[in-house]
Amino acid sequence: MRRLIRTLIPGALMLALISSLSAPSVSRAHAARTNAVEKCGQAFAPGNFAPHEQQAGAQRKTTASTTAPVVREVDLSGLKKLLSREGREGRPLLVNFWATWCEPCRAEFPDLVRIDNEYRARGLDFITVSIDDVSEINTGVPGFLKEMRAQMPAYLLNTTEQDAAIQFVDPRWAGSLPATFLYDAQGKVVFKHLGRIKPGELRAAIDKVMSNK
Amino acid sequence: MIKRYLFAFALLLSLSCAALSGINVKADGTVGDTEPGAIGSVVTDFKLPDLDGKEQSLSSLKGKNGTVLIFVGVQCPVSNAYNERMEKLAQDYRARGVNVVGVNANSTESAGDAKAHATSNNLTFPILKDNGNKLADRLGAERTPEAYVLDSSNKIIYRGRIDNARNPSSVSASELRDALEAMLAGKPVAKSSVPAFGCTIKRG
């Protein structure tokens, strides 16, 4: 038994070291009160929704600066437009629903950021939808995204029809967070995960959908 | 010998990973003929310990006219936003023959944690510890808070949110109370399944 423990401990330590080296820290600091807010009407104009690359590119350039990410406010119809892939047909879409008060959401975010970094240039659209209170749109939400160095287009769902929004996304989803949905290029859900993602599984699903594009 | 250690390590690692992850559902959502916790299905009797470790059962806790099972959490801010409302619900309906029963199915929260939480938040209704998520799995419960209304014959007539706003002053729809009123009046429930954002139940 002792020998077994002696064998396991170095392995566990190595694993912990690898994780700590590769993951951005998940502290609770809420900063950044300076980002712009765009209402869904503007956000979903085709000209605005389409250029994810430009948007992401612009954000990438300022990653090292102190600018916090833009968080766009969407209502139910805005969410529907987002998921309908208007102007973005032909590209798979990954959507993560989260909130700053949701611990597993915060815990999985470094993995989501890595996956975005790995796949965006290869043709994957990835958006995050926060369901925080709208009062957090200039504070907690962009503050956390900045801390995570998240560059995926970020939205905050502000609607009195949360039940309708959940049912629109997936009639079998009760609304637990985090929740991650992968749509293929035709807009069909091909993978979903409720709870903290398993990065390997998600990567495999993305690889599959990208190869079928 | 080394192979055996490696195997043990891999097994330990995979178990830890499984414990940390959530529910994985097929994209097409198929779960079989009857979805767990479906409206109209009957909840057969179950036994679970309360927060003192004493075994309780549905048959011993159910109300004469119905039962409300609410999956709750100690650390979930959404569930915590409803502490006072859940207690008020329990008090309002106890005299009308409907018992409210809390269920803590989070593997990350012990019975002791839940008991201290109930005491500090003045929750007087019974709370059960669903070790191994047996009840949560049977009912298909996914988040906290998530409520199930069982009629006097333990048939599920409502599942979903308590009301439509975390902030009590913003509430404009109280589907759980509406369902209870309909049940007590012998009428059908208008909205029998209403999702809401909440915390994922941490399965063990």
Residue A173: CA count within 13 A, CB half-sphere: 31
Q: Which range scores top for mean pLDDT: A62-66, A88-92, A152-156, B9-13?
A: A152-156
| Residue B14 confidence (pLDDT) | 46
B143-144 sheet: strands from edge to edge: A176-177, B198-200, B143-144
Q: pLDDT digit string (tens) for B86-139?
A: 999 999 999 999 999 999 999 999 999 999 999 999 999 999 999 999 999 999
According to DSSP, the β-strands at B66-71 and B146-151 are: antiparallel
Tell the burial category of A38 from Cβ atoms under 10 Å away from its Cβ (0-12, 13-18, 19+).
Answer: middle
The average pLDDT across A111-122 equals 96
Q: Which residue of chain A has the CA closest to B197?
A: A175
Strands B198-200 and B143-144: antiparallel
Q: How far is CA A202 from CA B9, B18, B36, B122, in A?
A: 24, 15, 26, 42
Averaged pLDDT, A189-194: 96
Helix (H) or strand (E) holding B17: helix B2-20
pLDDT at residue B15, rounded to an integer: 43
pLDDT, residue A68, reads 77
What are the E-state strand segments in chain B?
23-25, 47-49, 55-57, 66-71, 98-104, 127-129, 143-144, 146-151, 156-160, 193-194, 198-200
Q: Hey, of B193, B199, B201, which one would you mutate to test binding to chain A, going by the most A CBs within 10 A of its CB?
A: B199
Cβ atoms of A196 and A107 within 8 Å: the answer is: yes
Contact (CB<8Å) B143/A175: yes
Tens of pLDDT, residues B8-52: 555 444 444 444 444 444 444 333 457 899 999 999 999 999 999
The yes-or-no verdict on residue A156 having pLDDT over 60 is yes
B16: which residues sit within 8 A by CB, 6+ positions away?
none
Q: Is the pLDDT of residue B3 over 90?
A: no
pLDDT grade for A212, boundaries at 50, 70 and 90? confident
For chain B, say whether A14 makes contact (Cβ under 8 Å). no
- How much is the mean pLDDT over chain B? 89
Report CB contact under 8 Å: A194, B25: yes
Residue with tokens 């293929």: A184
> Any CB–CB contact under 8 A between A189 and chain B?
yes
Instruction: Say if residue A145's pLDDT is above 60.
Output: yes
Q: Residue A35: is its pLDDT beyond 80?
A: no
* Contact between chains at A131 and B197 (C-beta distance less than 8 A): yes
Q: Which residue of chain A comes nearest to B141, CA vs CA?
A: A174
**Other residues' Cβ atoms within 10 Å of the Cβ of residue A53:** 13
* Mean pLDDT computed over every residue of chain A: 78
- Read off the DSSP letter of residue A67: P
Nearest to A176 among B75, B166, B200 (CB): B200
Count of helices and strands (H, E) across chain B: 7, 11
Q: How far apart are CA B175 and CA B191, in angstroms?
A: 7
Q: With contacts defined as CB-CB under 8 Å, which chain B residues touch A160?
A: 164, 172
Dist. CA B178–CA B180, nearest whole Å: 5
Task: Compute chain B's Rg from CA coordinates.
Answer: 18
CB contact under 8 A, B197 and A104: no
Our CA dihedral for A101, A103, A104, A107, rounded to 10 degrees, sits at 110
pLDDT confidence of residue A22 = 40
Residue B32: burial class (beta carbons within 10 Å; 0-12, 13-18, 19+): exposed
Give this complex's ipTM: 0.80
> Which pLDDT does position B204 carry in this prediction?
85
pTM comes to 0.77
The mean pLDDT of B146-163, rounded to a whole number, is 98
Whole-number percent of chain B with pLDDT over 70: 84
pLDDT for residue B155 is more than 90: yes
pLDDT above 50: residue B190: yes
Task: Name the DSSP letter for residue B155.
Answer: B
Nearest to B195 among A167, A178, A191 (CB): A167
